[in-house]
Structure 1
Amino acid sequence: MVHFTLYTRSYCHLCDDMLEALQALSGEFPFTVEMMDVDADEALTAQFDELVPVLFGKKGNADSVQLCNYFLDDTRVRDFLQAV
């Protein structure tokens, strides 16, 4: 199963756009999405502050992979979802 983590903040229209674009793929691929508010954690703010939204993908026990930030990279996300 594929799990995505989307690092966001509440007043970010790009974050809303990325989530919407990602959810549009849910009809083709099974996955879960967890939203993390970077402003709720100082370490996350320090790591992702100016990069949000940031999307990470994880398959099974593999390490998470940063796939894109600011805008959904449709090609990269699809390639990630289709890779064995």
Structure 2
Amino acid sequence: MTATPAPARVTLYSRQGCHLCDDARVVVAAVCADLGESFDEVDIDADPDLVDRFGDEVPVTFVDGRQHDFWRVDEARLRAALGS
């Protein structure tokens, strides 16, 4: 029996052409790689409900299913939220 990988603890909601999203992706990817975590990225423009919910706040990060940050990702704060 193959073990099912654990779901990603971090979700980054973003959109194409967003420079803040590009900056956030770099921080999230580096922190997750350093801590052995994975993250999922969701393009909000693919879902009208997500555009309504996050359109003016992207990038938005969630940790363990709860909203963590928006607009900018603070590396130290993300590390703390992931228990490091």
- In the superposition, the TM-score normalised over structure 1's length comes to 0.82
* Uncovered stretches (5+) of structure 1, i.e. residues with no partner: 59-63
- Please, which runs of 5 or more residues in structure 2 have no aligned partner? 1-5
Q: Secondary structure at the match of 2:72?
A: coil
How many angstroms apart in 1 are the aligned matches of 2:59 and 2:71? 5
After superposition, what is the alpha-carbon deviation per residue over 1:23-58, rounded to whole angstroms, capped at 9, x for unaligned? 121343121111111111110000000000000011
Q: What pairs up with 1:2-81 in 2 under 5 angstroms?
A: 3-58=9-64, 64-81=65-82
- Larger Rg computed on CA atoms: 2
Q: Deviations over 1:43-83 (max 9, x none)?
A: 0000000000000011xxxxx11111111122321111117
- TM-score in terms of structure 2 length: 0.82
Pairs aligned (count): 78
Higher strand share: 1
- Give identity over the alignment, percent: 33
SS in 1 for 2:61: strand
